[in-house]
Structure 1
């Protein structure tokens, strides 16, 4: 079968037309004909062996891609997590980890949305326990997941949404998706810090959803620092580390402010939360997308072009989807 295969860890995947078709060996698994699969930071990181979830794995040649959209034998179109790699003509999926797609949703959007939904809704609902009317700051909102997070926060009833990012044109476009305030990252530290402090003092920030970590996270946490008086509780949820995996955090910040610091990602979610993600959250977002109430911007490529397009840089707010 045709597939994008990682033969050597650390190299780019190769397009091949004669990779063995996966064989189903368990009763709770079935074969799917794949039609679309998104290329995400997670896929690149896992394929290279750099993601924490691949620690200890013994590398062998395998098709890449963790999830995608395709048809079951009876013609039902579903989104599913792959047991085998999903950027291939055929893949094995678990019966309990698939979602029937609603009428009207685009294949590329359906392939792109679930990872972004997991990277935003799970943090808002379970780590931050968001309530309607709360103020949410999204650090690094100009990427695909960040733009989805803006829309989901709005859908969940956020009273005010503040967004940060490097691309100022993209930041402006987020106002149409539900953002209320924009803060460019490409300014001096003092100005960035001052803007956050001003907004926080005017209407306290309840939730921070962070996709960047690194220096901007340090500045945001510094902006929350108290002076010995009672402070507003802020829930800071780390989801990504685009600008650095470590930060310096003063213990004075932890002692001077009512701060809840947590992370949201693979390994941090409970089984019950994962069940709700598949049974409730993603299906709801699929329906919103089918009804044109949730926008997912994608750029599609063909499977045969995977080698030259693996590291393709797309404009902020879009996700690459491989069509098969």
Structure 2
């Protein structure tokens, strides 16, 4: 089968060659269905995440032994099931997450890591649900317990997790302030219902937030959702309400900030670190309930998976370059089964 293999750590955006970290193996062995709880999936599409970039660079918290097939959230069709599998059937459209192995034509995975895609939903786009929306849903509802009328500030709001957070915030009935750079990103965020969209480039973000809060007779930000880190995070602490929740999602700025303990004390802040993948091991029931609610919302049209680009497996390096350059609005999809989707990136 065809698979994307990482054979060394390094820059994943360079063209494929005998020396590149990534390469396409056209004759990779098919994975074995070795356990009765295993399911074989014919992969339709894979969602590209910032974590994939960090993994190949050797900067992610998890480092699979080399060589390995790159992994991420994916969608596809069930082709074979083990003897103990009861929740999915051959022919079902599913989405799920593979720590490794999903950037390939076939994937064998535990049934517990699969979720049935509702009828009528775009199976290619469904690959973008688990990590981005799953992270945001667990953070916002399970950890911060966002309530109607509360204020949520979302940094990096036009990326995969950020755009998911904005939509989930609006489903919850919150006032959502979204931060992103550029007119195109602002238009997208307005289209999904953000109450205020700010570009931090001009340096007036905090004053604009304070003016907005005052105009709405609101005291401050109740939930800070941050996949960015750096200066934006530090500045955002100034507008937090007493008892606010701080959700640490990631550090795409490359700058890992710290929170002064005296600020956390005086404002009675609750700080949450969110690593979605660890819920499979530590809180699998919570994760499954979260995904089931997201799939219900998706089927009802309450949330939308915005796909800005689609690439074939042979152009993963170009797709990763877009993520590295922060030129992505929403999700980038790698279409593995090209017969199932003939569209391409708009670039």
TM tier relative to shorter chain: 0.7 to 0.9
The question of 1:196 aligning with 2:227 is answered: no
Structure 1 residues 166 and 16, CA, compared in 2 at 3 Å: closer, same or farther? same
| Equivalent residue for 1:180, pick from 195, 201, 213 | 195
Give the aligned partner of residue 53 of structure 1.
62
Q: In the aligned structure 2, how far is the partner of 1:21 from the partner of 1:11?
A: 27
SS at match of 1:311: helix
Which of 238-247 and 265-274 deviates more?
265-274
Q: Does the alignment pair 1:264 with 2:274? A: yes
- Secondary structure, in 3 states, of the residue corresponding to 1:243? coil
User: What is the aligned partner in structure 1 of residue 339 from structure 2?
Assistant: none
1:137-183 Cα shifts (integer Å, max 9, x gaps)? 1122121221111111111221x111112224312431231211122
Matching residue within 257, 265, 286 for 2:295: 286
CA distance in 2, matches of 1:270, 1:92: 17
Instruction: Provide the secondary structure at the position in 2 that maps to 1:72.
Output: strand
SS at match of 2:334: strand
Please name the residue that 2:287 is paired with: 277
Aligned to 2:156: 140
| Residue 322 of structure 2, aligned match among 282, 293, 312 | 312
1:200 CA drift (Å): 4.8
The 1:307/1:180 distance shift into structure 2, 3 A limit, reads: closer
Quote the offset at 1:33 in angstroms. 1.2
State the alpha-carbon separation in 2 of the partners of residues 69 and 270 from structure 1: 18
CA contact (8 A) 2:163 2:330 kept: no
**CA distance in structure 2 between the partners assigned to 1:184 and 1:114 by the alignment:** 28
Contact 1:14 1:307 in 2 (8 A): no
Instruction: Could you tell me which runs of 5 or more consecutive residues in structure 1 were left unpaired when the two chains were aligned.
Output: 225-230
Report the count of equivalent residues: 311
- Which shifted more, 175-184 or 42-51? 42-51
Contact 2:206/2:239 (8 A) holds in 1:
yes
Q: Report the aligned-residue RMSD.
A: 2.3
Tell me the alpha carbon deviations over residues 90-135 of structure 1, each in whole angstroms, 9 at most, x when there is no partner.
1111011111111111122100121111221111012212222211
In the alignment, structure 1 residue 238 sits paired with structure 2 residue 237: no
Gaps of 5+ in 2: 13-21, 80-89, 337-347
- Secondary structure at the counterpart of residue 295 of structure 1: coil
- TM-score, scaled relative to structure 2: 0.81
SS in 2 for 1:149: helix
Deviation at 1:61, TM superposition (A): 1.8
The 8 Å contact of residues 37 and 321 in structure 1, kept in 2 or not, is answered as yes
1:170 corresponding residue in structure 2: 185
CA contact (8 A) 2:95 2:127 kept: yes
1:69 alignment partner, SS class: strand
Displacement over 4 Å in runs of 4+: 266-273
- Alpha-carbon distance in 2 for matches of 1:140, 1:310: 18
C-alpha distance after superposition, 1:253-304 (max 9, x if no partner): 23432221222114764857442322x3223323433443322221211123
Partner of 2:75: 69
Say whether the 8 Å CA contact 1:15–1:307 is kept in structure 2: no
Per-residue deviation at 1:35? 1.1
Which residue of 2 is the match for residue 88 of structure 1?
A: 104
> Mean Cα displacement is larger for which, 45-54 or 124-133?
45-54
Instruction: Determine if the alignment matches structure 1 residue 157 to structure 2 residue 173.
Output: yes
What is the DSSP-based 3-state SS (H/G/I as helix, E as strand, rest coil) of the residue aligned with 2:59? coil
Tell whether the 8 Å contact from 1:170 to 1:316 is kept in structure 2 after alignment: no
TM-score (norm 1): 0.87
Change (3 A) 1:61 1:111: same
Asked whether the equivalents of residues 36 and 323 of structure 1 are also in contact (C-alpha less than 8 Å), the reply is yes
Give the SS at the match of 1:51: coil
